[in-house]
Structure 1
Amino acid sequence: MIEFQRISKRFGDKVVLDDFSLAIPEGETTVLLGYSGTGKSVALKHIVGLIEPDAGDVAVDGQMVNQLGYDDLMLLRTRIGYVFQFAALFDSLSVGENLALGLRRQGLEASRVEKRVAESLKLVELEGVEERYPAELSGGMRKRVGIARAIALRPRYILYDEPTTGLDPVTTAAMDDLMVRARRELGATSVVVTHDLRSAFAVADRIAFLYQGRIRQVGSVAEIRDTTDPLVREFLEGRPTPGGGGHA
């Protein structure tokens, strides 16, 4: 389980997370939903120790992430797959080499690395692209390679940071399907950061709506869709809310 325990974080004078608390159940997909700039991506980065809180704790499987030493933090990260907003692939490496990097660090022998790379690319419907380079791929394909790289590690958790940003509706729907399939076939707990309402409804078991660095409402897709909370309702209806933004 992942738990945010009264997290506070500011950058300069800007309060990004303010007494932020949330428990993420195992085996489900939890979507962090909200306007751009409400602290969603900042919250996600706390899970893998890319950002440390000013106050509060983040626990993963009972381990306080912000209290771990370097070696223990690196070990924790082997259980977490991270899909970055812009894929974050190494341009100088082929697709296969991008996927193989993390597997080699885990000590897998060459034959197992090759097999795992092929299996992961098949899952995201990119069979046979091992020798191609990121620059040769479309934006949607690069994002799918990013998912393949994350699932190649067979992680316990998969974190997605704005996975559908910049994609057309057809590619977005395909990406949503991949996220659902990855959770189903791997059994991984997933956390998805997005401001894309259609994508959130397509992949979520549970949605946590953020507003000004705090959880405003948590519920099932049906509960969020039928909300009577005025701020959440404004978001669902596409109406602007003053003061909703800051840091993603």
Structure 2
Amino acid sequence: MIEFKNVHKAFGPKKVLRGFSLTVKEGETMVIIGYSGTGKSVAIKHIVGLLEPDEGEVWVDGKHVDRLSRTDLYALRGSIGYVFQFAALFDSMTIGENVAMGLRKQGQLTEAEITTRVDEALRLVDLPDVQHRMPAELSGGMRKRVGIARAIALRPKYILYDEPTTGLDPVTSATIDQLMVRMREQLGVTGIVITHDMRSAYTVGTRIAMLYEGTVRAVGTVDEIQHSTDPLVRQFIEGRVDVDDHTPIVAGLPGSLPADVPTRAHG
């Protein structure tokens, strides 16, 4: 289980998270929606210790993340896969080398075992026999699938997906959605998905939380969010410009994040 307890985070004068509280239960896929710059990606970076809260606590499986030693933090990260927004593959490495990178860093498997694990992960995302190809040879959707394969090669308990369908056509987006559902149903992975794509949110989510001005504005099942009477929730999920009282909601809401966010590094 992952728990955010009254988390606050600011970057200089910018207050991004302002009492963010949310519980992610084992076996579910929690989708976090909200306007650009409201701190969705900032929130999930606290889970793996890339950021520390200014106030509040983040717990994973009963462990207080920002109080973990370096060794214990590395161990925690080994149970969490992270799928980056733009796949974040290394262009100078083959697909197989990209997928194997985390396994080699762990240093617990032989090369033969790593090769087997890489093959298994690529088959799970329907990309067999691409190990020797380079990222530039693959489409955007295929690179996203390689990013998922790299995450699941670690056999994680949790996977964090940061805008997994951004920049993809509708058919490819639907393929990525089905892969995320497969990860939950076949592997039992607990997921957190950051997205603006409501079609994707409704497909992959077991619950949806809306982040607004640094706090959770609403949280519920897909059906509960679809039928919410909150005007701000309705505005977002329907893609309308104004709420019912005609107050415009514009980009750059309070808490918008600077482009170069500093993160906590542990080597």
Task: Quickly name the TM-score band, shorter chain normalised.
Answer: over 0.9
Q: Deviations over 1:102-151 (max 9, x none)?
A: 11233111221111111110111111000011111111111110000000
CA distance in structure 1 between the aligned counterparts of 2:172 and 2:186, rounded to whole angstroms = 21
Q: Do the aligned partners of 1:41 and 1:161 also contact (CA within 8 Å) in 2?
A: yes
| Runs of 4+ residues deviating >3 angstroms | none
Match of 2:139 in 1: 138
Match of 2:121 in 1: 120
Q: Do the aligned partners of 1:207 and 1:221 also contact (CA within 8 Å) in 2?
A: yes
Secondary structure, counterpart of 2:23 in structure 1: strand
TM-score w.r.t. the length of structure 2 is 0.90
Deviation for aligned residue 1:243: 5.0
Secondary structure, counterpart of 1:30 in structure 2: strand
Moved more, 68-77 or 149-158: 68-77
Secondary structure, counterpart of 2:136 in structure 1: helix
Match of 1:32 in 2: 32
CA distance in structure 2 between the aligned counterparts of 1:239 and 1:36, rounded to whole angstroms = 15
Whether 1:239 aligns to 2:249 is no
Q: Do the aligned partners of 1:7 and 1:58 also contact (CA within 8 Å) in 2?
A: yes
Secondary structure, counterpart of 1:47 in structure 2: coil
Secondary structure, counterpart of 2:38 in structure 1: coil
RMSD: 1.2
Match of 2:197 in 1: 196
Q: How many residues align?
A: 248
Moved more, 131-140 or 222-231: 131-140
Q: Equivalences for 1:59-70 in 2 at 5 Å?
A: 59-70=59-70
CA distance in structure 1 between the aligned counterparts of 2:90 and 2:143, rounded to whole angstroms = 11
Match of 2:215 in 1: 214
Q: Equivalences for 1:172-187 in 2 at 5 Å?
A: 172-187=173-188
Whether 1:6 aligns to 2:16 is no
CA distance in structure 2 between the aligned counterparts of 1:86 and 1:51, rounded to whole angstroms = 20
Match of 1:111 in 2: 112
Letter in 1 for 2:148: I
Q: Deviations over 1:49-106 (max 9, x none)?
A: 1111111111001111111121111111000000000111111110101111211233
TM-score w.r.t. the length of structure 1 is 0.97
Identity %: 63
Match of 2:55 in 1: 55
CA distance in structure 1 between the aligned counterparts of 2:89 and 2:53, rounded to whole angstroms = 27
Q: Do the aligned partners of 1:212 and 1:243 also contact (CA within 8 Å) in 2?
A: no
Letter in 2 for 1:118: D
Secondary structure, counterpart of 2:35 in structure 1: coil
Match of 1:102 in 2: 102
Runs of 5+ consecutive residues of structure 2 not aligned to the other structure: 242-247, 259-267
Q: Do the aligned partners of 1:80 and 1:159 also contact (CA within 8 Å) in 2?
A: yes
Deviation for aligned residue 1:20: 0.4
Q: Do the aligned partners of 1:29 and 1:203 also contact (CA within 8 Å) in 2?
A: yes
Match of 1:171 in 2: 172
Letter in 2 for 1:242: I
Letter in 1 for 2:77: R
CA distance in structure 1 between the aligned counterparts of 2:51 and 2:139, rounded to whole angstroms = 30
CA distance in structure 2 between the aligned counterparts of 1:207 and 1:151, rounded to whole angstroms = 23
Q: Deviations over 1:209-237 (max 9, x none)?
A: 11111100110000000000111011122
Secondary structure, counterpart of 2:46 in structure 1: helix
CA distance in structure 2 between the aligned counterparts of 1:72 and 1:243, rounded to whole angstroms = 41
Q: Equivalences for 1:148-167 in 2 at 5 Å?
A: 148-167=149-168
CA distance in structure 2 between the aligned counterparts of 1:212 and 1:137, rounded to whole angstroms = 38
